[in-house]
Amino acid sequence: MTPTFEIHDESRIYIGSASELLPEILPQKRIVVISDTTIAHLHAPLLASYETILIGTSEKIKTLQTIETIYRRFIELGVDRSTFVLAIGGGIVTDIAGFAASTYMRGLQFGFVSTTLLGQVDASVGGKNGVNIDGYKNMAGCFNQPAFVICDPSLLSTLPEREFRAGLAEVIKAAIIADADLFAQLESTTFDQLRQNTDQLSDIIAASIRIKADIVTHDERETGERRKLNLGHTLAHAIEKSSDQMIHGEAVAVGTVLISEVAVKLGTLSVTDYGRIVSLHKQMGFVTESPVSISRMLQEVGKDKKNKEGMLRIVLPAGIGDCEIMPISPEEFARLLQ
Ligand code: GLY
């Protein structure tokens, strides 16, 4: 099977049917699946052939406690270095399973079947694995590439509307940072069309992964260009830390709109392009106002793991399809956000 994309020679990314691809690409090893209770309910046939460890759902379980529970189950099951860990689920499952597999016995091979739009276009691709600490996002983790990622658009038909929309926030983000054509394609469609038209959906998934795979191939460990993929995320993480009202993609949408406003003030983005960014988010049904105050967000921004030597690094849209990374003092950032 030829992968749709590859990151170095390490991680193969397939867009296609998981049930057809898995028998072809799984290694001839013992397979242990990590999935969650929702997937076990919605996609039972996909899990049926494997020993399975089920975890709970929601960002709240992305903790070291969950990792420890998985290690204990690995020990009970006699998992060893010759076992292949297959994670089947959204971004929370793949982040957790990738971290557990990367650290158990100093590392097992692993692969993903990504079952959410957000997972397919962002979280499962690129080798970031980890968990939150006291609500601070991805504070413990590692860069380690999955052997493969399967993005099966047909699995998205069971995705609740809210989760689907959350994934679109990462598609819009990818378009803003690197693909003006993708942005225009999104402008010319609707939320409902994207949900219903599998070909169109596969196209935008492929376009988003292309951007991510290209960036990660050049900067796997986020020393430069990969930071662009964090557009909107510093503020999104601050919103998620301060409030339970928004899931990740919803917070990314707000963070992207707010940082675009800052970009207008700093002169990297025109008012016209800012208008297009706001309009596209609204067209896709996003709330674009933050549920928490700017001052509350700013308290959290100071703790972002991407800060260096007291300076924040913000990703600013520089037109549609382009962006730049700028170091900025917390005081200046606060002034621009008010
Ligand atoms: N989600 C951003 C990244 O993978 O770098």
Q: Which of 95, 122, 173 to mutate to test the pocket of ligand 1 (most atoms within 8 A of CB)?
A: 122
* Residue closest by Cα to atom 2 of ligand 1: 229
Does 127 sit in the ligand 1 pocket, CB within 6 Å?
no
CA angle, 218 then 219 then 220, to 5°: 115
Banded pLDDT at 228 (limits 50, 70, 90)? very high
Question: What is the pLDDT averaged over residues 234-254?
Answer: 95
Residue pLDDT, tens place only, 292-325: 999 999 999 877 667 777 899 999 999 999 999 9
In whole angstroms, give the CA distance from residue 142 to residue 69: 19
Instruction: Confirm whether 230 is a catalytic residue.
Output: yes
Cα torsion 169, 170, 176, 181: sign = negative
List the catalytic residue out of 6, 222, 261, 324.
222
In whole angstroms, give the CA distance from residue 254 to residue 333: 16
Residue pLDDT, tens place only, 52-88: 999 999 999 999 999 999 999 999 999 999 999 999 9
Please state, rounded to an integer, the average pLDDT across all residues of the chain: 96
Report CA(170)–ligand 1 centroid distance (Å).
10
Does 126 sit in the ligand 1 pocket, CB within 6 Å?
yes
Report CA(28)–ligand 1 centroid distance (Å).
30
Report CA(48)–ligand 1 centroid distance (Å).
31
* Residue closest by Cα to atom 3 of ligand 1: 229
List the catalytic residue out of 165, 226, 228, 281.
226
Judge whether residue 198 has pLDDT over 80: yes
In whole angstroms, give the CA distance from residue 302 to residue 329: 10
Question: Side chain identity at 63, as an amino acid letter?
Answer: T
Q: What is the DSSP string of 281-333?
A: HHHTT---S-SS-HHHHHHHHTT-TT-BTTBEEEEEE-STT-EEEEEE-HHHH
Question: What is the pLDDT averaged over residues 279-294?
Answer: 97
Asked whether the beta carbons of 32 and 104 are under 8 A apart, the reply is: no
Instruction: Considering only CA atoms, give the Rg of the chain.
Output: 19
List the catalytic residue out of 12, 230, 240, 300.
230
Structure tokens at 325: 């990374």
Report CA(127)–ligand 1 centroid distance (Å).
9
Counting residues of the chain whose pLDDT is more than 90, the rounded percentage is 95
Asked whether the beta carbons of 129 and 91 are under 8 A apart, the reply is: no
* Residue closest by Cα to atom 5 of ligand 1: 229
Question: What is the pLDDT averaged over residues 18-41?
Answer: 97
pLDDT for residue 1:
81
pLDDT for residue 338:
86
148-151, strands of its sheet edge to edge = 5-7, 11-15, 148-151, 109-114, 83-89, 30-36, 51-55
Question: Partners of 316 in the beta sheet?
Answer: 324
pLDDT for residue 51:
97
308 vs 216, higher pLDDT: 216
pLDDT for residue 305:
67
Instruction: Confirm whether 137 is a catalytic residue.
Output: no
Structure tokens at 121: 């276009």
Judge whether residue 231 has pLDDT over 90: yes
Atom of ligand 1 nearest to the CA of 226: 5
Of 1-5, 177-181, 265-269, 319-323, the least confident: 1-5
Quick one: which of 244, 63, 84, 250 has its CA closest to 163?
A: 250
Quick one: which of 109, 120, 158 has its CA closest to 15?
A: 120
Does 226 sit in the ligand 1 pocket, CB within 6 Å?
yes
Judge whether residue 129 has pLDDT over 90: yes
Q: Which of 226, 231, 315, 325 to mutate to test the pocket of ligand 1 (most atoms within 8 A of CB)?
A: 226
Residue pLDDT, tens place only, 147-194: 999 999 999 999 999 999 999 999 999 999 999 999 999 999 999 999
In the DSSP assignment, the letter for residue 265 is H
Banded pLDDT at 5 (limits 50, 70, 90)? very high
pTM, full prediction: 0.96
Asked whether the beta carbons of 181 and 188 are under 8 A apart, the reply is: no
Instruction: Confirm whether 60 is a catalytic residue.
Output: no
